[in-house]
Amino acid sequence: MLADPQGLLIIGTNHRKAPVDFRERIAFGPEEVEAFLKRAHEDLHGSDCFLLSTCNRTEFYTINLNGNSVRDTWTLLSSHKPIDPTRDAENFYQYEGREAVEQLFRVATGIDSQMLGEPQILQQVKTAFEASLKVNVAGVVGERLLAAAVRCGKRARAETDISKGAVSVALAAVSLSHKVFADLAPRTALVVGAGETGSLVAQNLRDHGIGRLLVANRTLEKARTLATATRGEPMDLDGVREALVEADIVITSTSAQTPLISAEMVRAAMKHRHNRSFLLVDIGVPRDIEPAAGSIDNVFLQDIDSLQGMIEQNLLRRRREVPRVEHIISEEVDRFLEWYAGLQVGPVIKELRTRLEELRQHEIQRAHLSSEQREAAEQVTHGLINKILHRPMKLLRHSTSQGEAGMRRMQTIREIFGLDESLDNSNSEKK
């Protein structure tokens, strides 16, 4: 069992722990973060600090090396936000040591998010990491911990399907476009309906690099507003029939009571399209496109039910990936704790002695000496190593009482003597 990182503490809240009005109250705006981190670093006597504040969570991490108590951290938080540590305790979670590391890694992989596996959280962790680095409050352990969290998040996304597949209607509609067409840049999309869903779809299509975007709406003014926001071309519903010939993707989300696009209109358009593939996505209820259009060759018609089916399937697949992500988290936590254990004075001293002893033995064996020469060499090199080690050992023993500075010193010694590398590596570098 690896040693817990002493002093690592996280106090936080998220969508499962507190209602939205409470989360809003204690959230930190981007402009507040740096000032808070500086203040926290001062108040907690130079401890490593890191703050993650998104729409669904606010988490404060600190690595207390200087004898601060948990109560000090609560005091700090309540001096910045309207928090009563006693009354609001049930709205928070608090983890220490290994559990705190696990929590950060769970957040980075997206398995702690409201939308399981959401991809944005990793970027948010990186941004928060950069804020700590910018104001110089991350510290040696904090830097390593945050870099490990980012690596863990990347691994989860690369090695599992935790972030795969669209899980919102607007994204599902766009993901279908990518399954039919290789590249959206040379394609034209027609969005029919400029309401909330239509706006989201149009924005997503623009974000995914659609070449040309047509926006049709019953009220031309509304179509114009959305078209301006998404660099599209506005039109009224009378233009839809003609637009079907040009568009490769049609996404409809109107509240019309009868279908706006008939199978006959699609059939007529296909004659002019020279059999180019045609993707129709109907998000409207009642439906905007006649279902019979889906039976025309090379026409791919999807409605709200099929999109919902896709979303449910993607969520199910993500849920199935959770154990694999947890396995990655466990590996990365062990890896971090192994590094952390190496920062303790005892193991560093032991490793340093072993490393130099290995080098000494290695060089003596390479020298092809007679037994008398070997004996003399043994004596000389022993003495030499003891002399070389004298000062580093003294400094190391003092490191325990020097908090962050001591940690930095231990890390520097590890780097100088290559304690994180194998002997073969260091020998080959020497050659």
13-21, 38-46, 101-109, 158-166 -> range binding other proteins (CB under 8 A): 158-166
Q: Which is nearer to other proteins, 14 or 175 (CB)?
A: 175
State yes or no: residue 151 binds other proteins (CB under 8 A): no
Q: Which is nearer to other proteins, 89 or 316 (CB)?
A: 316
When binding is defined by CB under 8 A, the residue of 85, 165, 195, 347 that contacts other proteins is 165
When binding is defined by CB under 8 A, the residue of 271, 274, 368, 387 that contacts other proteins is 274
Q: Which is nearer to other proteins, 306 or 426 (CB)?
A: 306
Is 49 a residue of the active site? no
Closest approach of other proteins to the CB of residue 392, in Å: 39
When binding is defined by CB under 8 A, the residue of 24, 159, 264, 338 that contacts other proteins is 159
Prior bond of 286 cis (ω within 30°): yes
Site for other proteins in 189-208 (CB under 8 A): none
When binding is defined by CB under 8 A, the residue of 1, 30, 182, 366 that contacts other proteins is 182
Q: Which is nearer to other proteins, 268 or 315 (CB)?
A: 315
Kindly write out the interface string for residues 213-232 of this chain, putting x where it contacts other proteins by CB under 8 A and - elsewhere.
Answer: --------------------
66-74, 136-144, 177-185, 208-216 -> range binding other proteins (CB under 8 A): 177-185
Contact 261, 293 (CB under 8 A): yes
Q: Which is nearer to other proteins, 1 or 182 (CB)?
A: 182
Among 35, 55, 380, 388, the active-site one is 55
Residue 99: CB partners within 8 Å, gap ≥ 6? none
Q: Which is nearer to other proteins, 111 or 235 (CB)?
A: 111
Q: Which is nearer to other proteins, 239 or 294 (CB)?
A: 294
State yes or no: residue 390 binds other proteins (CB under 8 A): no
SS3 track for the chain:
CCCCCCCEEEEEEECCCCCHHHHHHHCCCHHHHHHHHHHHHHHCCCCEEEEEECCCEEEEEEECCCCCCHHHHHHHHHHHCCCCCCCCHHHCEEEECHHHHHHHHHHHHCCCCCCCCCCHHHHHHHHHHHHHHHCCCCHHHHHHHHHHHHHHHHHHHHHCCCCCCCCCHHHHHHHHHHHHCCCCCCCEEEEECCCHHHHHHHHHHHHCCCCEEEEEECCHHHHHHHHHHCCCEEEEHHHHHHHHHHCCEEEECCCCCCCCECHHHHHHHHHHCCCCCEEEEECCCCCCECHHHHHCCCEEEEEHHHHHHHHHHHHHHHHHHHHHHHHHHHHHHHHHHHHHHHCCHHHHHHHHHHHHHHHHHHHHHHCCCCHHHHHHHHHHHHHHHHHHHHHHHHHHHHHHHHHHHHHHHHHHHHHHCCCCCCHHHHHHHHC
Closest approach of other proteins to the CB of residue 383, in Å: 48
State yes or no: residue 302 binds other proteins (CB under 8 A): yes
Site for other proteins in 51-80 (CB under 8 A): none
When binding is defined by CB under 8 A, the residue of 1, 30, 90, 179 that contacts other proteins is 179
**Rounded Cα gap, residues 223 and 244, in angstroms:** 17
36-44, 193-201, 291-299, 377-385 -> range binding other proteins (CB under 8 A): 291-299
Site for other proteins in 310-349 (CB under 8 A): 310, 313-314, 317
State yes or no: residue 275 binds other proteins (CB under 8 A): yes
Left, alpha or beta for 253 (phi > 0: left; psi -120 to 50: alpha)?
beta
State yes or no: residue 181 binds other proteins (CB under 8 A): yes
State yes or no: residue 252 binds other proteins (CB under 8 A): no
Q: Are strands 188-192 and 57-63 parallel, antiparallel or unpaired?
A: unpaired
State yes or no: residue 85 binds other proteins (CB under 8 A): no
Q: How many residues bind other proteins (CB under 8 A)?
A: 28
Q: Which is nearer to other proteins, 16 or 320 (CB)?
A: 320
When binding is defined by CB under 8 A, the residue of 180, 237, 268, 304 that contacts other proteins is 180
Contact 313, 165 (CB under 8 A): yes
**CA distances for 20 relative to 11, 13, 35, angstroms:** 17, 11, 24
Closest approach of other proteins to the CB of residue 248, in Å: 10
Binding site for other proteins (CB under 8 A): 158-161, 164-165, 176, 178-183, 274-275, 277, 294, 297-298, 300, 302, 305-306, 309-310, 313-314, 317
* Catalytic (active-site) positions: 55
